[in-house]
Structure 1
Amino acid sequence: MDVSEIIIPGDTPGTEWRLPVLRFKGSDPKAPKVYIQAALHAGELPGTVLLHFLCERLRQEGQGGIAGDITIVPQANPIGAAQSHFGELQGRFDLGSRTNFNRDFPLIPLVDRATLTEDLDDYPATDRLKRQLLHMALGADLVLDLHCDDESLQYAYIDETFWPEAADLAAALEMEAVLLSDGESSAFEEAVGFAWKYEVPGERQSRLPGKLSVTVELRGKRDVDPILAKRDADGLWRFLAARGIVNSEKATAAVFSGPAVPLDNVEIIRAPEGGAVLFHRNIGERMAEGDLLATIVTRPGQPGGSIELYAPQDGLILTRTSDRLVRRRGDLMKIACGSPSKASRRAGALEN
């Protein structure tokens, strides 16, 4: 294993950020190359601990057990990890630009990859970080961006371009659902997909055999657990083995049996008013149209002081907020459904 650091100068005198990069050299130049990063939203740590155990196994295997080059960035956002406001980590948005750390990645054709690291001094630290992460990823064939949700099942966002070929990853990581995205945002995994789809500028490819760029949601923020992390690392190992990147005698792909639905089929339940939320259903439950999901106590003790929210259609509860004091229009749940939501949705990511 080769360990290096990318040093990102800060935007004020006397500051800099260090980005560790772990590389495992493969023995077969024809094998797929892999790039995996975690904690782009700095406080989302299930992926970081998964990679800790995966690297341990890769070191044990040695070069003879690794066919394809593997690049791992276990803590992809040192800038966000240092942001704290009154003792609360603020790792999702850059406090300087107010931009989500997983948005505004450059959308370029693959032929322009080298330009990402040219004239880096012209960019603020956050953009330097994004450009260097994207540059590393575009040197690979398979790209995994490990995130987590709030309270959540295991699921993934996968561009329709890579489906159903990516079902082997969903099965290996025992995902309970897949959300098929339209590739229309500037999130990291979609910026990777954009570069591949427009490898020839102006010519869009609809299928990319042998390629994969995916956002994996490893359950919830509090699911930082040694048993889960080792299980997920084993699952990721099975995926790498089945794709011929690591050597294994049991390199057979599992079968994904969960729902795979377009983003248009995701119902996002939002609070019509602020108040204390009482959930009647938990993540992982399947509910029918009209089932009671939550009660919001808006005016405690007063007549008519609560609002009840019901399921708009049948579906599987994927996520739930951990907050119990919610704001008006705050997100409460995501539900994967068999039919499109009646709520309008802009192309791109579900949330900011």
Structure 2
Amino acid sequence: MDTTEIIIPGDTPGIEWRLPVLHFKGSDPHAPRIYIQAALHANELPGTALLHFLCRKLRAAEDAGRIASDITIVPQANPIGAAQSHFGELQGRFDLGSRTNFNRDFPLISLRDRDTLVEDLDRYPATDRLKRQLIHMALGADLVLDLHCDDESLQYAYIDEAFWPEAADLASALSMDALLLSDGESSAFEEAVGFAWKYEVPGEKRSRLPGKLSVTVELRGRRDVYPDMASADADGVFAFLAARGAVRDSAPLGAFTGPAVPLDNIEMIRTPVAGTLLFHRDIGETVAAGDLLATIVARPGMADGETEIRAPQAGLIVTRTSDRLVRRRADLMKIACDEPSTALRKAGTLED
């Protein structure tokens, strides 16, 4: 394993950010090239823990001569966000300077323009330099995993329909509970990678991308950072790499049996009022239309102080918030359903 470091100058005097990048050199030039990063949202650490254990397995495979692919790993992809502490709490999702989500506004380019991403970097603020260098590395690969987590959550992933059902092997390897299928048209990291592949020939969109994969993996919730979980997830990613020919290993994969649901079929449950949140249902439960999901105590002690929130249709509860004092219109749950939601929402990602 070789280690390099990308240095990102800060936007104020005396500041710079260092981004370690780990490299494993493959022996087969025809094997798929791999790029994996974690903690783009700097306070989402299950992926960082996973990659720590995965690198241990990859070093052993390297010593045994079993690595076929060139593999690039960035265990902590956002040193800028990791330094943002506000009143003692890490703020790793949004850049405090620009108020931009670290996983939005990636450049949407054609693959043939990849090298322009790192030209004249001095023109850009630190956050844009970071984004440009991350996506530049990813576009040198064939299989791209962006490791995130949700708040309280099952194991699931966002997968562009262009990679489905080929990506079922990843879902199987990581024992995912659900897949959310998208059209890949936002500016989030994994969709910007897919965009560059789809529009490799400008003006001509490819609808299928065989042999390619760019995916956001949601590794349960933010507090699910435990050695046994991380080690098991690392085993899963290693098995996926073996199935794709990146490492020489005979670990078999079973079939993915969970739901694969279009984003249009996700019910984003939001709070109609502010107040104290009382959940009646948990992640992993299947609910029927009309089931009581939660109660909001907006006016404690008053006879009319409660507001009930019920399921708009049947489905699987994939995520829920860890907050218990919620603002009006806060995101409460994601429910994966068989039918499209009737709720109005803007196109693109489910959350800001």
TM-score range, shorter chain: over 0.9
Aligned partner of 1:146 in structure 2 is: 147
Is 2:241 the counterpart of 1:236? no
Aligned partner of 1:164 in structure 2 is: 165
The CA distance in 2 between the partners of 1:279 and 1:255, in whole Å, is 33
Q: How does 1:121-136 map to 2 (within 5 A)?
A: 121-136=122-137
CA displacement 1:35-71 (0-9 Å, x = unmatched): 0000000010000000000000111111611001100
Which consecutive unaligned segments of at least 5 residues does structure 1 have? none
Aligned partner of 1:305 in structure 2 is: 305
Which letter maps to 1:141? D
Q: Is the 8 A contact 1:166 1:212 kept in 2?
A: yes
* Offset at residue 182 of structure 1 (A): 1.2
Q: Is the 8 A contact 1:44 1:147 kept in 2?
A: yes
Aligned partner of 2:183 in structure 1 is: 182
Is 2:41 the counterpart of 1:41? yes
Q: Secondary structure at the match of 1:37?
A: strand
Aligned partner of 2:107 in structure 1 is: 106
The CA distance in 2 between the partners of 1:8 and 1:86, in whole Å, is 25
Q: Is the 8 A contact 1:182 1:347 kept in 2?
A: no
Q: Is the 8 A contact 1:46 1:223 kept in 2?
A: yes
The CA distance in 2 between the partners of 1:259 and 1:286, in whole Å, is 12
The CA distance in 1 between the partners of 2:166 and 2:284, in whole Å, is 25
Q: How does 1:316-327 map to 2 (within 5 A)?
A: 316-327=316-327
Q: Secondary structure at the match of 1:65?
A: coil
Which letter maps to 1:61? A
Q: Is the 8 A contact 1:264 1:345 kept in 2?
A: no
Q: Secondary structure at the match of 2:190?
A: helix
Aligned partner of 1:21 in structure 2 is: 21
Q: Secondary structure at the match of 1:184?
A: coil
Aligned partner of 2:11 in structure 1 is: 11
* Offset at residue 344 of structure 1 (A): 1.7
* Offset at residue 308 of structure 1 (A): 0.6
Is 2:51 the counterpart of 1:51? yes
* Offset at residue 229 of structure 1 (A): 0.3
Q: Secondary structure at the match of 1:26?
A: coil
Aligned partner of 1:119 in structure 2 is: 120
Which letter maps to 1:290? G
The CA distance in 2 between the partners of 1:253 and 1:282, in whole Å, is 29
CA displacement 1:160-196 (0-9 Å, x = unmatched): 1100000000010000000001111100000000000
Greater shift in the superposed pair: 207-216 or 241-250: 241-250
Q: Is the 8 A contact 1:51 1:74 kept in 2?
A: yes
Q: Secondary structure at the match of 1:58?
A: helix
Is 2:66 the counterpart of 1:65? yes
TM-score by length of 2: 0.99
Which letter maps to 1:304? D
* Offset at residue 197 of structure 1 (A): 0.1
The CA distance in 1 between the partners of 2:270 and 2:111, in whole Å, is 38
The CA distance in 2 between the partners of 1:68 and 1:50, in whole Å, is 19
CA displacement 1:186-241 (0-9 Å, x = unmatched): 00000000000000011100001000000000000000000000000000111000
Q: Is the 8 A contact 1:271 1:331 kept in 2?
A: yes
Which letter maps to 2:51? L
Which letter maps to 2:66? G
* Offset at residue 338 of structure 1 (A): 0.4
Q: How does 1:201-350 map to 2 (within 5 A)?
A: 201-250=202-251, 252-350=252-350
Which letter maps to 1:91? G
Which letter maps to 1:297? V
* Offset at residue 345 of structure 1 (A): 2.6
The CA distance in 2 between the partners of 1:79 and 1:58, in whole Å, is 27
Identity of matched residues, % = 78
CA displacement 1:60-97 (0-9 Å, x = unmatched): 11161100110000000000000011111100000111
Which consecutive unaligned segments of at least 5 residues does structure 2 have? none
* Offset at residue 118 of structure 1 (A): 0.2
Which letter maps to 2:97? G
Q: Secondary structure at the match of 1:170?
A: helix
Q: Secondary structure at the match of 1:308?
A: strand
Q: Secondary structure at the match of 2:316?
A: strand
Q: Secondary structure at the match of 2:37?
A: strand
* Offset at residue 253 of structure 1 (A): 2.9
The CA distance in 1 between the partners of 2:131 and 2:7, in whole Å, is 13
The CA distance in 2 between the partners of 1:249 and 1:176, in whole Å, is 24
* Offset at residue 346 of structure 1 (A): 2.2
TM-score by length of 1: 0.99
- Find runs of 4+ consecutive structure 1 residues off by over 4 angstroms: none
* Offset at residue 249 of structure 1 (A): 2.5
